[in-house]
Amino acid sequence: MTKNNKSQILEGSRAIALTIKNIGPEVVSAYPITPQTHIVEDLAKFKADGEADYEYVRAESEFAAASIILGASATGARVYSSTSSQGLLLMTEVIYNIAGMRLPVVITCANRAVSAPINIWNDQQDAMAIRDAGWIMLFAENHQEAVEQHIVAYKIAEKLKLPVMVNVDGFILTHSYEEVYIPTAAEIKKFLPNYKPTKGEYLDPANPKTLGAFASPAYYMEIRQELHDDLISSLTVIKKETENYKKIFKTSGANDNGLFEYSGPAKAKIILIAMGSVIGTIKDTIGEKNKNIGILKIKTYRPFPQIEILNLIKKTGAKNIAVIEKAIGLGYAGPLYLDIKTALQGKIKIEVKNFIVGLGGRDVTKKMITEIVKKTTAKGQELEFIGKI
């Protein structure tokens, strides 16, 4: 976290909006949806007040907003949008197209439960719907991390021609106030130069081209495999750019490599794994002095850093893992749990349990975390919903 005297107390949405303003996209398009609203409201106001010079396009739906930024990005512009829940689901077709066309789009998802029943509060089910669409998926624990991940997101997106989604827990991050430092436009430019699209690979009326054109069985598979391979190899770039960011902005975070952050003893018996703001509650419950329990925060969920996670868990010598998540793969298990199991399968002897918490905005309390820790080593079901407050 950056600690300096220029920090302010800001609402999470405002912190993200100010960061985007300083990053300087050329086109912003969005459709309002709770709990993303404050982000795009702020961005619209900056434009109206003459504080920003991007094109702000009001869209008639999320499908249109995503299509507008797809088109704008295809012309070689830096773009931004933000959405939530049903809005992300409505964007889905375009989300796949953006990845397939290799456009460096950055979107913020203010994570929220999906219908039905309709619910406007936080969980991470929305993001899970598009986790395999070819996007880099980052998850933030707090405001400062969200600010940093947005800046890094543009860097890696533009470097690799891969879209990035920064996930922030709805309300918990978007509507809460916290100390946060927003790098100035000049500071950001040192890390993130102006975007220059590759010559001949963007839409230009003087030099007509088609993006995302028909690919027959003879070509499609190689193109998809390349997207997959490039996503996997982006792990290295995410790590490198996180290091660069730390150097340029003089931020700490020795255990944070951009892919995940491990906190706790070097040798642990139990490891709790989670993503997003719930990590704050977990850290608060476990405490810094605990000698048995380690906490692993996944920051990069796609591509999934499976080898790095396996190596870390091996090193700790842990015997039990609890995957705590705010999403459920209905009919099977939590998506993160399945990914962790796959990463460890056959390589290490370890017990992994899955705890589903906080669906539809149910508060995740310290009491629940304590209960989860107890259940991690006890005999019982592999998957459990922990809901009693």
Partner 1 sequence: MKINITAQPGSTKINKTAGWRTFRPETDYNKCIACGLCARVCPENIISMSKLSPDKKFRPETDYDFCKGCGLCAAECPVKAIKMELQKK
Binding site for partner 1 (CB under 8 A): 101-102, 160-161, 200-202, 208-219, 222-223, 226, 230
Least Å distance, CB 222 to partner 1, is 7
Least Å distance, CB 210 to partner 1, is 4
Closer of 44 and 227 to partner 1 (Cβ)? 227
Closer of 226 and 284 to partner 1 (Cβ)? 226
Closer of 117 and 217 to partner 1 (Cβ)? 217
Least Å distance, CB 208 to partner 1, is 5
Neighbours of 62 (CB within 10 A): 27
Closer of 214 and 330 to partner 1 (Cβ)? 214
CA atoms within 13 A on the CB side of 209: 14
Least Å distance, CB 135 to partner 1, is 15
Closer of 15 and 162 to partner 1 (Cβ)? 162
CB 144 within 8 A of CB 1: yes
Q: How many angstroms separate the CA atoms of 266 and 269, rounded? A: 10
CB 277 within 8 A of CB 145: no
Q: State the residue for tokens 């309709």.
A: 118
The structure tokens listed for 82 are 């933000």
Closer of 61 and 233 to partner 1 (Cβ)? 233
Closer of 67 and 97 to partner 1 (Cβ)? 97
Q: How many angstroms separate the CA atoms of 148 and 137, rounded? A: 14
Least Å distance, CB 258 to partner 1, is 21
Give 233-301 as a DSSP string.
Answer: HHHHHHHHHHHHHHHHHT---TTB-SSEEEES-SS-SEEEEE-TTHHHHHHHHH-TT-SSEEEEEESEE
Least Å distance, CB 191 to partner 1, is 22
User: 71, 83, 88: which is closest to 27 by C-alpha?
Assistant: 71
Residues 6 or more apart in contact with residue 272 via CB below 8 angstroms: 282, 286, 293, 294, 295, 296, 321, 322, 324, 369, 372, 373, 376
CB 85 within 8 A of CB 37: no
Least Å distance, CB 117 to partner 1, is 41
Q: How far is CA 249 from the centre of its chain?
A: 21
Least Å distance, CB 100 to partner 1, is 8
Closer of 5 and 214 to partner 1 (Cβ)? 214
